[in-house]
Structure 1
Amino acid sequence: MLGKRIEKYWGGRAGSYNEHVQKEMACGKKQAWESLLVKYAGTGDNLRVLDVGTGPGFFAILLAGLNYSVTAVDKCEEMLEQARQNAAAAGKTIQFLQAEAHAVALPDESFDLIVSRNVTWLLPNPLEAYQEWRRLLKPAGKVLVFDANWHLYLSEPELQLEHDKYLKLAMKKGYKQNASPEQRQENEAIARKLPLTYQKRPAWDQQAFRQCDFQQVEVQENISLLVHDEIEQLLYTPTPMFAICASK
């Protein structure tokens, strides 16, 4: 089953991914992400936020630091364990829950804001997830998605050439891949089975949010200059990160 395969893969990556997140916490990226969150979410005590696909808890900790009331979910227990440890070390109170992105066992209209980073591309049923997130939002609540066309190159030969070119350039500048060859092979094998590997985004997301009856959809097509370092900007030239804010 694809879902179990995805969970097993990311469970095996929990440690190395946590190392990546720790580096983000310790550099200017933390402030850059905080600025983006405030830009879209605003400020205010007791704002109830759900972090979907929290991984090691990077966004959950940032959101708690902004005085939001944070619940964080992830499918992978190994990731949640890393997140719990990181939240405790940061002194943040966060409610963690193991759950699928499209099936969160919480009441309707529970949250003012739902946030995800690098999650939607990995979902076997992304439209169902967006429908679920709308259910969980209070009236006028917002969904904030940060993502990219991470594996579109697998379905577009010209993009594959660009991907390979910029990977080589980044490696010459010092970029080191934090996944083993076997893990990279498995990641691509999983991606080939996922629907968004074959869709151009954020255009797909705009249509999907409207299909789910969100009232307003705002897109920022390239946030890489804001949140990536010099080597990452080079590496991700063919697939810059985007931001989408959809209002219920």
Structure 2
Amino acid sequence: MNKNNLSKVQQETFDPAILNDIEGYWNERSKTFSETRKKEMSGPGGAAWLKLLSEHLPTGRTLKVLDIGTGAGFFAILLAKLGHDVTGIDMSADMLHQAKLNTVALGVRAKFQKMNAQETDFDDNTFDAIISRNLTWTLPDAMEAYHEWHRILKPGGLLMNFDGDYGKADFTRHDDKENVHANIRQELVDTCNRIKNSLRISTHRRPAWDIEVLKNLGMQVEYEEDISPIVYNDPEMHYDGIPLFAIYAVK
């Protein structure tokens, strides 16, 4: 599927106005989200993620890696520490600002661009690896995103997607200061639930749906139902309890 056809399909399958709502939500959360990711990176969770990435990525060479939905740059920074050539994209300008600040503060190099995950500006077969965490549940058309990521991934390249079946959950406000979603305003929680409930992906059961889509693209897929005990291992950070699945798909 070429980029022109992808854009046409997108316009037919969701209201483009939802993109503004999603961008506004993450812009408002950018500073507190960045603080959470910095805490995670400096603790046992960061070390666990670094180990997991090292175990699944090819070794012995510098990889060209795309971090989709980079947010505050968590994966981009870890991948740069592993010596890879990393580009992070996000549709939230404020998140990208935080990502740039964090890379400078930690003395690593990564490139960042404002871009729609469903319709990127990259050429076919550009990246050795693509990585994403807790992004696909927020996309207006995740199927088209998977088509796009397949397009820009090199033959033999690896797609790693870490996400949860958040569509069947209702988010609530937390006052527990160690909860990763602590002190988010009720209005933002309501906005998040409204956006989530309007997205088609929230009607699918996952990761079964994702696996089927990727296999239909001809990818070889392996997955783990829940890696949260491995990566959410910091006793000072409380997560929402929804299983975090891991998909490893090779083009």
What are the equivalent positions in structure 2 for 1:71-86 lying under 5 Å apart? 71-86=87-102
CA contact (8 A) 2:178 2:238 kept: no
Amino acid at match of 1:219: Y
The residue number in structure 2 matching 1:241 is 244
Q: Supply the distance in 2 between the matched residues of 1:235 and 1:121 (Cα, whole angstroms).
A: 15
Q: Distance in 2 between matches of 1:129 and 1:106?
A: 13
Percentage of identical aligned residues: 39
SS at match of 2:165: coil
Q: Please, which moves more after superposition, 35-44 or 77-86?
A: 35-44
Distance 2:88 2:47 in 1: 20
Match of 1:223 among 220, 227, 231: 227
Distance 2:145 2:249 in 1: 13
Q: Quick one: distance in 1 between partners of 2:98 and 2:150?
A: 28
Residue ranges of structure 1 left out of the alignment (5+ in a row): 155-162
Q: Distance in 1 between matches of 2:41 and 2:52?
A: 15
Task: Tell me the secondary structure at the aligned position of residue 103 of structure 1.
Answer: coil
Q: Structure 2: 5+ residue runs without aligned partners?
A: 1-16
Question: Does residue 214 of structure 2 align to residue 198 of structure 1?
Answer: no
Q: Please report how far the alpha carbon of residue 42 of structure 1 lies from its aligned counterpart in structure 2 after TM superposition.
A: 3.0
- Quote the residue 1:17 is aligned against: 33
- Asked if 2 retains the 8 angstrom alpha-carbon contact of 1:225 and 1:233, the reply is no
Letter in 1 for 2:211: Q
Deviation at residue 231 of structure 1 after TM alignment: 7.2
CA RMSD across the alignment: 2.0
1:186 aligns with 2:191: yes
Instruction: Using the TM superposition, give the Cα deviation of residue 44 of structure 1 relative to its aligned residue in structure 2, in angstroms.
Output: 3.0
Give, as a single letter, the amino acid of the residue that structure 1 aligns with 2:184. Answer: A
State the distance in 2 between where 1:56 and 1:174 align: 19
Contact 1:60 1:70 in 2 (8 A): yes
Letter in 2 for 1:16: T
Structure-1 residue corresponding to 2:119: 103
- Report the Cα distance in structure 2 between the residues aligned to 1:234 and 1:94, rounded to whole angstroms: 28
TM-score by length of 1: 0.88
For 2:48 and 2:111, the matched residues in 1 are separated by 24
User: In structure 1, what is the equivalent of residue 5 of structure 2?
Assistant: none
Q: Following TM superposition, by how much is the alpha carbon of 1:186 offset from its aligned partner in structure 2, in angstroms?
A: 0.6
The CA deviation at 1:35 is: 1.1
For 2:236 and 2:244, locate their aligned partners in 1 and report how far apart those are by CA, in whole Å.
14
CA deviation map 1:196-226 (0-9, x unaligned): 2121111011011112221x10011110111
Counterpart secondary structure, 2:166: coil
Following superposition, the deviation at residue 153 of structure 1 comes to 2.4
Aligned length: 233
Give the alignment of 1:42-61 within 5 angstroms: 42-61=58-77
The residue type equivalent to 1:130 in the other structure is Y
C-alpha displacement at 1:233, in angstroms? 6.8
CA distance in 2, matches of 1:100, 1:74: 7
Contact 1:16 1:178 in 2 (8 A): no
What SS class does the counterpart of residue 48 from structure 2 fall into? helix
Tell me which of 146, 149, 155 is aligned to 1:139. Answer: 155
Q: Which AA in structure 1 matches 2:35?
A: E
Instruction: State the Cα deviation string for residues 96-151 of structure 1 (Å, max 9, x = none).
Output: 11111111101111111000000000000101111111111111001000011123
SS in 1 for 2:198: coil
Match of 1:157 in 2: none
Alignment partners' CA distance in 2, 1:140 and 1:48: 13
**Residue 104 of structure 2, aligned match among 85, 88, 98:** 88
SS, match of residue 86 in structure 2: strand
TM-score normalised by length of structure 2: 0.87
Asked if the contact 1:74–1:80 (Cα under 8 Å) also holds between the matched residues in 2, the reply is yes
Aligned mates of 1:114, 1:61 — CA distance in 2: 14
- Cα deviation for residue 230 of structure 1 reads 4.5
